[in-house]
Amino acid sequence: MSNLQANKISKIFKDNKAFIAFLTAGDPSLDKTEEFILAIEKAGADLVEIGIPFSDPIAEGPVIQEANERALSVGTTTDKIFMMVRRVRQKTAIPLVFLTYINPIFVYGIDRFFKACQESGINGIIIPDLPFEEKGEVLDVAKTYGVDVITLIAPTSKDRIQTLAKEATGFIYLVSSMGVTGVRSEIKTDLKSMIDDIRQVSDTPVAVGFGISDPDQAKAIAKIANGVIVGSAIVKIIAEYGDNASDSLYNYVKSMKKAIS
Amino acid sequence: MSKGKYGVHGGQYIPETLMNAIIELEAAYEHYKNDKDFQDELTELLNEYAGRPSRLYYAKKMTEDLGGAKIYLKREDLNHTGSHKINNVLGQALLAKKMGKTRLIAETGAGQHGVATATAAALMGFECEIFMGKEDTDRQALNVFRMELLGARVHVVTSGTMTLKDAVNETMREWTKRVEDTHYVLGSVMGPHPFPEMVRDFQSVISKEARQQILEKEGKLPNVVIACVGGGSNAMGAFYNFIPDKEVKLIGCEAAGKGVDTALTAATIAKGSLGIFHGMKSYFCQDEFGQIAPVYSISAGLDYPGIGPEHANLHDTKRAEYVAITDDEAVNAFEYLSKTEGIIPAIESAHAIAYAMVLAPKMKKDEIIIVNVSGRGDKDVAAIARYKGENIYE
């Protein structure tokens, strides 16, 4: 069976509030990751972020750190993840974006990595420890292979917001809160004014992530942004139900998508 | 534009959340490093509070016993808080004060950097939180209490391998949570720019003094300078002012642990490969997929899977040489210096002493070695006793 042509990232934001789901590849196994991605898609997710586990994920809170450890402990490697993505790509056209740290990419070989992204049908990549100043490390190669390097904008970005937004492609990942990933009861950042700043220089869709877990939060954010990103809440479901998480994931994603629609 | 490069190494590979803090730090450091009042204040602190300049001591008995080169010991162990760490900490704490920060956070391995940071925080009135791997709070329990005594809060890090690398991860995570009022006092010549440059500058007082002291005592430069290397701050400090003196050989001693051919090692130059981690491009112990390897050394301070970017470049350009010293060799040197000179070195520094013991007998009697004794060994006594099979706990 041949790969399906991946849908473009921009398409999911057209007249639609996008729901973006994150999970860690290989947690609890790559076969299950494949199954979960399809369940999440069926529930209405518009894009799936696939985490390539890293030994030292400095931007992650305990929930995703533990998912990284579980995935690595069962022997998950970058090569095996690419094979899993190829299998997924035969079954769905949903945009897929990797999230990983710069070291696994750099050590794999930047050209080899992005070439494999293109071949397996990956649309974009999020690299939390690659700021604007160091983007040159991957940008040209990623472009050559048609992979968007997603721009992250943080509550502390302030005077940098417009510089960052101007060069953004795919979508902008707006970090809702200070600190690491993880569920939060309240988001205090003035996201509206940050999005206004972005809009002065860029039409690139803005999706908000970090700390979002329940439908009410998602609904509020969808009013001002183009999409909502949920990671830790999904990884928590996988941690709780393990191999049998598909139904719970389906129900959760469905309720979140409904809340923002 | 990538900044803070040493050859291909260095850079600023950190989350966007920290970028403005790093830019602010860089601007403040650029300003104050050339500010006479700041430098005078720092020198005053180093001299009156930390007890500088540190002695350059001629180890006569050791020299005679080994029968080769003359051995001088740069006594950073005599500094207040017992190691070279205070040089950097006083510099960074003073800078943080000027920047209006009210809280210091830091990682620590052996506890020496944590103790130094807690000390500076007490002196200058900062709130202070220290992150230390569980593995290390167990082997350096006394230092944990020492930090608490100084008013710091110690967080036991239980993620990953529970050692220095994980303490750095956790301190970085903490910084992204609260960056406005907080300065991260990075303890070594590593991390994102400007840390490798700034920490090296603050530590370079070691070689600035040593160079002058040896010229006064011997009327010539040393043939060799030896220092131990984990992240590499005492070595960078001991090497820096000798780098332009091409005839002076610079040797860094990494921790081989149980041996470089075993998995239980922390010898980054011997075993590592190029990678990007903890904010910098440099050499790291890692696997073929870029997963950082668990490392091991008897010394908590050298138990780190990377090395500062300037060292990586000194290695690439062959200006410095890096050798690996095993636990056994270090413990032997620890006992040797204690018995021969009545100086108990930190187990980290014992790695440098061990190589001097190898090298000195092969050199001529009119040649000179300077060994940087980066810290004192009181903290290691119980652990070394256990290593020797004695059932002693602190």
Run of H or E residues at A125:
strand A124-126
Q: Is A49 a catalytic residue?
A: yes
The answer to whether the peptide bond before residue B305 is cis (omega within 30 degrees of 0) is no
B198-243 tens-digit pLDDT: 999 999 999 999 999 999 999 999 999 999 999 999 999 999 999 9
CB contact under 8 A, A77 and B16: no
Tell me the pairing of strands B279-284 and B9-13: antiparallel
In this structure, the answer to whether residues B192 and B254 fall within a common structural domain is: no
- The stretch B156-184 carries a mean pLDDT of 95
In this structure, the answer to whether residues B259 and B219 fall within a common structural domain is: yes
Any domain includes A122: yes
CB contact under 8 A, A107 and B275: yes
A146 touches chain B (CB under 8 A): no
A133 touches chain B (CB under 8 A): yes
In this structure, the answer to whether residues B238 and B163 fall within a common structural domain is: no
Specify whether the CB–CB gap between B5 and B311 falls below 8 A.
Answer: no
Domain count, chain A: 1
Residue in A99, A103, A85, A105 with CA at minimum distance from that of residue A37: A85
Q: If you count them, how many residues does chain B have? A: 394
Any domain includes A106: yes
Any domain includes B392: no
Any domain includes A95: yes
Any domain includes A159: no
Any domain includes B323: yes
| CATH number of the domain enclosing B172 | 3.40.50.1100
In this structure, the answer to whether residues B75 and B39 fall within a common structural domain is: no
CB contact under 8 A, A129 and B14: yes
Any domain includes B394: no
Place of tokens 């998995």: B263
pLDDT at residue A187 tops 90: no
Single out the residue in B149, B169, B199 at which a domain terminates: B199
Specify whether the CB–CB gap between A98 and A130 falls below 8 A.
Answer: no
Residue in B110, B71, B17, B111 with CA at minimum distance from that of residue B363: B71
Any domain includes B393: no
B15 touches chain A (CB under 8 A): yes
Domain count, chain B: 2
Domain region containing B141 = 5-46+84-199
In this structure, the answer to whether residues B287 and B143 fall within a common structural domain is: no
Task: Give the model's confidence band at A2: pLDDT under 50 very low, under 70 low, under 90 confident, else very high.
Answer: low
Domain region containing A127 = 17-149+217-254
Single out the residue in B184, B199, B214 at which a domain terminates: B199
Single out the residue in B199, B231, B257 at which a domain terminates: B199
pLDDT at residue A145 tops 70: yes
Tell me the pairing of strands A227-230 and A18-24: parallel
In this structure, the answer to whether residues B78 and B221 fall within a common structural domain is: yes
For residue A65, the distance in angstroms to the closest alpha carbon of chain B comes to 8
Task: Give the model's confidence band at B172: pLDDT under 50 very low, under 70 low, under 90 confident, else very high.
Answer: very high
Contact residues, chain A, for B292 at CB < 8 Å:
55-56, 103
In this structure, the answer to whether residues B213 and B178 fall within a common structural domain is: no
Task: Give the model's confidence band at A4: pLDDT under 50 very low, under 70 low, under 90 confident, else very high.
Answer: confident
What DSSP assignment string belongs to B6-58? Answer: ETTEEEEE--HHHHHHHHHHHHHHHHHTT-HHHHHHHHHIIIIIS-PSPPEEE
Task: Give the model's confidence band at B1: pLDDT under 50 very low, under 70 low, under 90 confident, else very high.
Answer: low
Run of H or E residues at B321:
strand B320-326
B355-365 tens-digit pLDDT: 999 999 999 99
In this structure, the answer to whether residues B144 and B218 fall within a common structural domain is: no
Interatomic CA distance for residues B18 and B166, integer angstroms: 18
CB contact under 8 A, B177 and A152: no
In this structure, the answer to whether residues B212 and B98 fall within a common structural domain is: no
What is the three-state SS of B258-296?
CCCCCCCCCCHHHHCEEEEECEEEEEECECCCCCECCCC
B165 touches chain A (CB under 8 A): yes
Closest chain A CA to residue B10: A134
Task: Give the model's confidence band at B269: pLDDT under 50 very low, under 70 low, under 90 confident, else very high.
Answer: very high
pLDDT computed for residue B332 by the predictor: 98
In this structure, the answer to whether residues B279 and B183 fall within a common structural domain is: no
Token pair of A238 as six digits: 């996988």
| CATH number of the domain enclosing A93 | 3.20.20.70
In this structure, the answer to whether residues B113 and B16 fall within a common structural domain is: yes
Cα A56 versus chain centre, distance: 18
Any domain includes A115: yes
